[in-house]
Chains A and B, each alone.
Chain A
Amino acid sequence: MKIAVCIKQVPTREWQPRLNDAKTWIREQDVSYEMNEPDAYALEEALRLREKQGGEVVVCSAGPARVQTVLREALARGADRAIHVEHDSLGAADAFVIAEALAAAMKDEQFDLVLTGLQSDDQGHGQTGVILADRLGIPSSTIIMEVQIEGNALHVKRELEGGWFQWISMPLPALLTIQSGINQLRYATLKGIMAAKKKEIRKAALPQGIEAAQQIVSLAVPTRSKQTQMIDGSSADAARELVRRLREEARAL
């Protein structure tokens, strides 16, 4: 079985936002990056399916040269090879552009199954996977918490709101967007890191003429919907003051 996993490189959770001068994008020179967390779960799921079914896991990413770091990391965790659609403009591209870019690079590979995270921790459109499925001409299902494969049939557990779930059957090939927490992540071993150095990363060009579907007019730190009272001082002082206010002002204790 030939499985593709689409991964994105996003700023780390610890990153503090700083904006470019035009306030239309982040200051990229300040950013340290990591693998988008839901994509890491998608990769882990692909590796587990390969262990059961045999076959190949190919990681795909569309982004500037820097995304090679996460592709190498995925190879070190066990993916067999990688496809990189490389272009500087892809770092800030929207879901339509990323999906079109990936589709062009992936369509001739005839993957049986395509996995990706349900959304990215940067722009968070939550669209790339489903648009990619449409462009590849395959069915999709989203927010998946369990994947079962029997022959050519796919049986997946889809998360609904408020603790509800639903099983869905689909034919292969198909695309699934994976929810965080579907499995326990593995980390790269030293042996894996060494082996990754010899694995192939195929470069693909960004096709001409892909149009963006939205424009970021401006970015800002969100305005607070509430007047938050910040309580300073030592831990003991802050704790005492908080308890006092919760009792006397908020009457919540």
Chain B
Amino acid sequence: MILVIAEQRDGRLNRATWETIAAAQQLAAGMPIKVAVLGTGSATVAQEVASAAVAEVMVVEHPALETYTPDAYASAASALIESVSPTYVLLPHTYQTRDFAPLLAARLRKPLVTDVTGLTGSGADATFVRPMFQGKLAAQVKPVGGPPALVTTQIGAFRADAAQKGGSAALTKFDVRIDSTTIRQKPEPSFREAKQAVDLGQAERIVAVGRGIKSQENIALAEKLATAMGAEVAASRPICDNGWLPMERQIGSSGQTVAPKLYVALGISGAIQHLVGMKGSRTIVAINKDAEAPIFEVADYGIVGDLFEIAPAIIAELEKS
């Protein structure tokens, strides 16, 4: 049996859950799939996931799960796992999963394979693919010491629209006891820092810069290229960390997710945290001095070379006509 732990916030399902259900279906090889929804007021979310081709949707409601904390979620999930004895537990690799899944694995003393992009084989003997060394290498790994083995699926790696629908799965309630004195984190409401004056999601073209731009003065070169292309300027995380461009221009898991007509990655190596924010772009151009940079794996057009020569040459070419 495979258990999928859905993610919801304020009664809204995180779409990445569908990707994880698709992965579970690929892995299943005849094993039944159950989806657990943790939280309060999750009736709508439970109905939504019940349209998937799964055996059962388990609603785990408890006042301590109303606002997410790693201690409460790990308590509820470990009680559920001990009760249903799955072969695998699958979760989407979101920030919330990254916060509590290692705690869950530690308490259960069971393996956790994170950030999985693919799988080979199926059933109890499957092998999982995950990036290592900043995406420079892909590892085939086997969990040791399960079942269950916990597995998190990288956002965008499995297709949500590949998840098979199957009518209506049985909805059941799972009663869980959580001792509120064991919850040590006290969360406050979430908030947004920048006013998000720039909505990069609406841009037709984007020129994004990474570490390869080397210094703040060189941002002007990217801006000039963007102007010549009719594009907005954006950046990978380290550029915004350095304050060279404002945080609201950051693309990636901690910034905005975009899918423009044209995405030009200038000196961006392509760490997975960046790729998840832009790999849906229609045409991707990568310019990087390192021919092995992972950005070339998602690029339609690639130029290996010095961006300080190539970007001015592109500007000159565009200004010609």
User: A186 CA to B248 CA in the complex, in Å?
Assistant: 25
Interface residues of A in 204-227 (CB under 8 A from B): 211-226
Interface-located stretch among B33-41, B56-64, B216-224, B306-314: B306-314
What separation, in Å, do the CA atoms of A216 and B132 have in the docked complex?
A: 11
Q: Could you tell me if A133 and B103 are in contact, using CB atoms closer than 8 angstroms? A: yes
Does B274 sit within 8 A of A, measured CB to CB? Answer: no
Please give the number of chain A residues whose Cβ is less than 8 angstroms from any Cβ of chain B in the complex: 80
B30 within 8 Å of A (CB atoms)? no
A125 beta carbon closer than 8 Å to chain B: yes
Cross-chain contact B238 with A180 (CB below 8 angstroms): yes
**Known interface pairs A11-B133, A160-B190; A217-B140 also in contact (CB < 8 Å):** yes
Residues in B neighbouring A127, C-beta threshold 8 A? 101-102, 105, 112, 114
Inter-chain CA distance A136–B113, complex, in Å, is 22
Partner-contacting stretch, out of B19-27, B80-88, B159-167, B296-304: B296-304
Instruction: Return the contact of A126 from the options B98, B103, B140, B189 (Cβ within 8 A).
Output: B98
Residue B262 at the chain A interface, CB threshold 8 Å: yes
Assess the A134–B103 pair: CB atoms within 8 A: yes
Within the complex, the shortest CB–CB distance from B162 to chain A, in Å, comes to 15
Q: Which of A62-70, A73-81, A229-237 contacts B (4 or more CB under 8 A)?
A: A229-237
Q: Is the CB of A253 within 8 A of B262?
A: yes
Question: By the criterion CB–CB under 8 Å, are B70 and A96 in contact?
Answer: no
A130→B102 contact, CB < 8 A: yes
List the one stretch of A109-117, A138-146, A187-195 in contact with chain B: A138-146
Which chain B residues border A17 with CB–CB below 8 Å? 133, 136-137, 292
Give A188 to B99 CA distance when docked, in angstroms. Answer: 32
Given the interface pairs A166-B191, A225-B297, A226-B298, the reply to whether A214 lies near B142 with Cβ below 8 Å is yes
| Among candidates B102, B142, B242, residue contacting A131 with C-beta atoms closer than 8 Å | B102
Question: Contact at A168–B298, with CB atoms within 8 Å?
Answer: no
- Complex interface: chain B residues within 8 A of A123 (CB): 132-133
- B305's closest neighbor in chain A, by CB? A235
Residues of A within 8 A of B292 (CB): 16-17, 221
A222 to B133, CA, bound (A): 11
A55 within 8 A of B: no
Determine if B140 and A246 form an interchain contact, defined as CB atoms under 8 angstroms apart: no
Do residues B186 and A222 form an inter-chain contact, with CB atoms below 8 A? no
Q: Which of B26-56 contact A (CB under 8 A)?
A: none
Also in contact, A228 and B188, with CB within 8 A (given A162-B255, A219-B138): no
Task: Write out the residue numbers on chain A whose beta carbons fall within 8 Å of the beta carbon of B301.
Answer: 228-231, 242, 245-246, 250
Please, what's the 1-or-0 string for B178-215, where 1 marks a CB less than 8 Å from any CB in chain A? 00000011111111111010000000010000010000
Please indicate the chain A residues that have their CB under 8 angstroms from the CB of B12 in the complex. Answer: none
What residues on B are CB-neighbors of A220 within 8 Å?
Answer: 137-138, 140
Q: Provide the residues of chain B in CB contact with A252, threshold 8 Å.
A: 205, 261-262, 282-283
Check: A45 CB closer than 8 A to any chain B CB: no
A235 close to B98 (CB less than 8 A): no
Contact pick for B94, options A161, A217, A236, CB 8 Å = A161
Number of contact residues on B: which range applies?
Answer: 35 or more
Per a CB cutoff under 8 Å, which of A165, A174, A221 touches B191?
A: A165
Complex Cα distance A65/B108, Å? 32
Contact across chains for B184 and A170 when beta carbons are under 8 A apart: yes
Which residues of A are found within 8 Å of B297, using beta-carbon distances?
222, 224-226, 228
Query: 8 Å CB contacts to B: which residues of A20-64?
Result: 26
Beta-carbon contact of A96 and B186 below 8 Å = no
- A181's partner among B136, B238, B283 (CB-CB below 8 A) is B238
Question: Is B177 in contact with chain A by the CB < 8 A criterion?
Answer: no
A224 and B296 contact, CB distance less than 8 A: yes
Contact A159 B254, beta carbon cutoff 8 Å: yes
Cβ contact of A170, chosen from B131, B185, B255, B309, cutoff 8 A: B185
B residues in contact with A179, CB < 8 Å: 254
In the complex, chain A residues whose CB is within 8 Å of the CB of B112:
95, 125, 127, 213
Query: Measured between alpha carbons, how far is A118 from B99 in the docked complex, in Å?
Result: 10
Shortest distance from the beta carbon of A16 to any chain B beta carbon, whole Å = 6
Using A19-B137, A163-B256, A165-B190 as known contacts, list a sample of 13 further A-B pairs with CB atoms less than 8 Å apart, ordered by residue number in A: A95-B112, A118-B98, A124-B134, A131-B102, A131-B103, A139-B184, A161-B254, A165-B191, A170-B185, A214-B141, A228-B296, A230-B301, A250-B300
A residues at B contact (CB < 8 Å): 11, 13-17, 19, 26, 95-96, 99, 118, 121-127, 129-131, 133-135, 139-143, 158-171, 174, 179-181, 211-226, 228-231, 235-236, 238-240, 242-243, 245-246, 250, 252-253
Footprint of A on B, CB under 8 Å?
A: 70-71, 94-95, 98-99, 101-103, 105-107, 110-115, 127, 131-145, 184-194, 196, 205, 211, 229-230, 237-238, 240-242, 247-248, 250, 253-257, 261-262, 269, 282-286, 290, 292, 294, 296-306, 309-310, 313-314, 316-318
- List the 4 closest A-B pairs by CB distance, nearest first: A181-B241, A239-B313, A130-B102, A139-B184
Q: List 15 A-B contacts (CB under 8 A).
A: A129-B102, A130-B70, A130-B103, A139-B70, A141-B70, A142-B70, A181-B241, A213-B112, A217-B139, A217-B141, A226-B284, A229-B302, A231-B301, A235-B305, A246-B285
